């Protein structure tokens, strides 16, 4: 314990400590501080004494190499691991290949080297036609460091989530952060062709375009689906269109490929710069669901996908990470430079967005795969959602199941059997140990796991989701979609008897969280609120497909709800899109 007093030589203080069996281990006379050891039963009496100014715990102090995102996500807490045979290892993404599809990387930045000083960028390719530019824009370098930066010097000072993963640099955005769908598709095709060569298990997409086409037809979504079916985890940013120019919340602005059910779609949380998670919220800019991509039938009627997205949120506000030299962002907005150093290839900068949140989740996926290489993409997605921390006051369209919890996710991943058969039957025992406690303490704050998953238009809850094999965890099956495809390419309707075991409860409402578990809190949208085109509510008022009627939506005189745009005094639901790919 740390004891502060105005007079360390006070005889009454000395007598108080002696009577209570307190051992003084050090006196820091100039500071008015003593370090002491005392019985637990004496703490209250000594803290209340008028001779003691303050009594606090002797907290652990850690090296500066650990950064905020490593601490607040719990990644730091899982670094030291042991195998089943007792061997020690560091959980840092070693051996896992991660493809970052972005504006390139500053290949000389110190954060991309390993402990031996060797670059971890194992492959680079330009798909823009402009030539590899070493990230003249500055986005891809920051994204990569969020995911896998290694703080090898005091100047750098900030680890990413998987700081020893191998990096595959695929440039699809130019020096102005613009790109094309064809460039992105070429990069995804390259990954599908070469993933085995570089052991690419994770892909990060901190970019996108407004989701116009249904995921069933969108070529980027279809390409993402192929990658996931091949056993590759794909993480996508939700987008930064959570509010309009007046600060009003907007719903329905998830961008492509974040609208793809097989992707892990990530929104942004605000940690307010503290490691403790009790004050965390969803950022105002983070795009909200439901997905508003659509297809049009032969009669010209639009059918919106309306899936619950994002899947979860992660820190994405004022994140400090690697700055590429001379980049466009800092050149035009000098205040983005974090001022940590002026040394070439060691600079750091601030950025905010779901672009920063997505790679934090991608790094977490890499840790899960290092801890348990047998996990399928759907199992990783389920683990991340099940162990997330629900943030109080935010609904499922805003936070998914909650905020990323790396410590809990790794603990659950290690508990899952590595000897599962190739095609487990529904209900097969999933764990190699007892059911993990569904609770974590990170940076001194204790919280419950969400203990549930989002599935297409609803959510599922129950401990059987992690104790028994579910059909929705298999490759070739879509976890968040109403239609699943088995290994024989046979279409199966989603129903509990085929895809989920007994003991799994499906919800029928979109909830506003009370911060305890998934499905608690108040109802945000009640059952049956997604109405098809042409449904008439009252004289002359037509509600388009996907218009949400629930808590916080007020219908009044003069409010017109149409196919693409629904507005009220409290909630905006926007389906109007334009075609432009940009970083998130």
Do the Cβ atoms of 429 and 387 come closer than 8 Å?
no
Cα(351)–Cα(165) distance, integer angstroms: 22
Query: Catalytic site residue 139?
Result: yes
Preceding amide of 436 cis, omega within 30: no
**CB-based contacts of 9, cutoff 8 Å, min separation 6:** none
Integer-rounded Cα radius of gyration of the chain: 25
The beta-strand segments (E) located in 87-149 are 88-90, 97-102, 121-126
Cα(160)–Cα(75) distance, integer angstroms: 9
Query: Catalytic site residue 152?
Result: no
Number of separate helices (H) and strands (E) present in the chain = 13, 35
Do the Cβ atoms of 526 and 545 come closer than 8 Å?
no
**CB-based contacts of 407, cutoff 8 Å, min separation 6:** 73, 74, 75, 77, 78, 440, 442
Q: 138 is written with which tokens?
A: 């500055």
**Residue 366, Cα to own-chain centre: how many angstroms?**
13
Point out the catalytic residue in the list 51, 68, 92, 102. 102
Preceding amide of 495 cis, omega within 30: no
Degrees to nearest 5, angle at CA 63 with 112 and 94: 40
Preceding amide of 201 cis, omega within 30: no
264-270 and 233-237: which strand pairing? parallel
**CB-based contacts of 566, cutoff 8 Å, min separation 6:** 543, 544, 547, 548, 572, 573, 574
Do the Cβ atoms of 492 and 341 come closer than 8 Å?
no
Do the Cβ atoms of 56 and 69 come closer than 8 Å?
no
**CB-based contacts of 188, cutoff 8 Å, min separation 6:** 101, 203, 220, 223, 224, 226, 227
Q: In this structure, how many other beta carbons lie within 10 angstroms of the beta carbon of residue 543?
A: 23
Cα(221)–Cα(208) distance, integer angstroms: 11
Point out the catalytic residue in the list 51, 139, 195, 255. 139
Q: 4 is written with which tokens?
A: 């502060």
**CB-based contacts of 426, cutoff 8 Å, min separation 6:** 468, 469, 470, 471, 498, 499, 500, 501
Do the Cβ atoms of 137 and 207 come closer than 8 Å?
no
Q: Determine the 3-state secondary structure of 343 from DSSP.
A: coil
Do the Cβ atoms of 517 and 531 come closer than 8 Å?
no
Cα(293)–Cα(311) distance, integer angstroms: 17
Q: Determine the 3-state secondary structure of 484 from DSSP.
A: strand
Cα(273)–Cα(316) distance, integer angstroms: 11
Do the Cβ atoms of 428 and 474 come closer than 8 Å?
no
| Backbone phi and psi for residue 412, each to the nearest 5 degrees, phi listed first | -70, -40
Point out the catalytic residue in the list 355, 440, 481, 513. 355
- Tell me how long the chain is: 584
Q: Looking at the annotation, which residues are catalytic? A: 102, 139, 355
């Amino acid at each position: 314990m740390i004891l502060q007093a105005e007079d360390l030589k006070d005889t009454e203080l000395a007598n108080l400590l002696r009577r209570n069996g307190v051992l003084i281990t050090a006196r820091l006379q100039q500071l008015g501080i003593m370090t002491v050891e005392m019985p637990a039963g004496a703490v209250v009496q000594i803290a209340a004494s008028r001779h003691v100014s303050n009594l606090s715990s002797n907290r652990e102090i850690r090296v500066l190499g650990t950064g905020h995102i490593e601490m607040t996500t719990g990644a730091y807490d899982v670094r030291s691991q042991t195998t089943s045979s007792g061997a020690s290892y560091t959980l840092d993404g070693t051996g896992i290949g991660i493809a970052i599809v972005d504006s390139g990387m500053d290949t000389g930045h110190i954060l991309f080297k390993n402990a031996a000083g060797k670059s971890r960028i194992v492959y680079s390719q330009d798909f823009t036609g402009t030539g590899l530019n070493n990230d003249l824009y500055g986005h891809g370098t920051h994204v990569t460091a969020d995911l896998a930066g290694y703080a090898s010097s005091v100047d750098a000072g900030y680890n990413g989530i998987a700081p020893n993963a191998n990096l595959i640099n695929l440039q699809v955005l130019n020096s102005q952060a613009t790109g094309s769908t064809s460039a992105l598709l070429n990069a995804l095709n390259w990954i599908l062709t070469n993933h085995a060569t570089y052991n690419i298990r994770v892909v990060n997409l901190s970019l996108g375009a407004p989701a116009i086409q249904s995921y069933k037809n969108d070529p980027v979504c279809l390409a993402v689906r192929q990658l996931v079916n091949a056993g590759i985890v794909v993480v996508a940013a939700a987008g930064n269109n959570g509010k309009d120019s007046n600060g009003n919340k907007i719903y329905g602005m998830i961008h492509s490929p974040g609208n793809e059910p097989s992707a892990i779609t990530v929104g942004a949380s605000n940690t307010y710069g503290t490691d403790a998670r009790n004050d965390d919220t969803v950022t105002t800019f983070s795009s909200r669901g439901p997905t508003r991509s659509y297809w049009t039938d032969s009669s010209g009627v639009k059918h919106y996908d309306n899936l619950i997205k994002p899947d979860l949120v992660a820190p994405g506000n004022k994140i400090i990470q690697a700055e590429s030299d001379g980049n466009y962002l800092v050149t035009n907005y000098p205040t983005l430079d974090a001022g940590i150093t002026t040394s070439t290839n060691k600079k750091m900068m601030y950025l905010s967005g779901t672009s920063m949140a997505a790679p934090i989740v991608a790094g977490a996926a890499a840790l899960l795969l290092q801890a348990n290489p047998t996990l399928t993409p759907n199992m990783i997605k389920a683990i991340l959602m099940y162990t997330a921390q629900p943030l109080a006051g935010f609904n499922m369209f805003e936070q998914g199941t909650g905020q990323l919890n790396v410590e809990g996710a790794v603990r659950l991943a290690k508990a899952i059997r590595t000897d599962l058969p190739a095609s487990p039957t529904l209900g097969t025992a999933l764990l190699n140990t007892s059911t993990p406690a569904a609770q974590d303490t990170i940076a001194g704050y204790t919280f419950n796991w969400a203990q549930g998953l989002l599935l297409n238009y609803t959510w599922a809850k129950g401990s059987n989701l992690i104790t028994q094999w579910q059909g929705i965890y298999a490759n070739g099956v879509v976890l968040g979609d109403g239609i699943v495809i088995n290994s024989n390419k046979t279409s199966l309707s989603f129903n509990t008897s085929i895809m989920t075991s007994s003991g799994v409860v499906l919800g029928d409402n979109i909830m506003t969280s009370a911060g305890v578990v998934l499905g608690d809190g108040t109802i945000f949208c009640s059952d049956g609120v997604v109405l098809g085109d042409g449904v008439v509510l009252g004289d002359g008022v037509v509600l388009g497909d996907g218009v949400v009627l629930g808590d916080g939506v007020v219908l009044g005189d003069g409010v017109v709800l149409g196919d693409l745009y629904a507005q009220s005094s409290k909630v905006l639901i926007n389906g109007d899109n334009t075609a432009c790919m940009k970083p998130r």
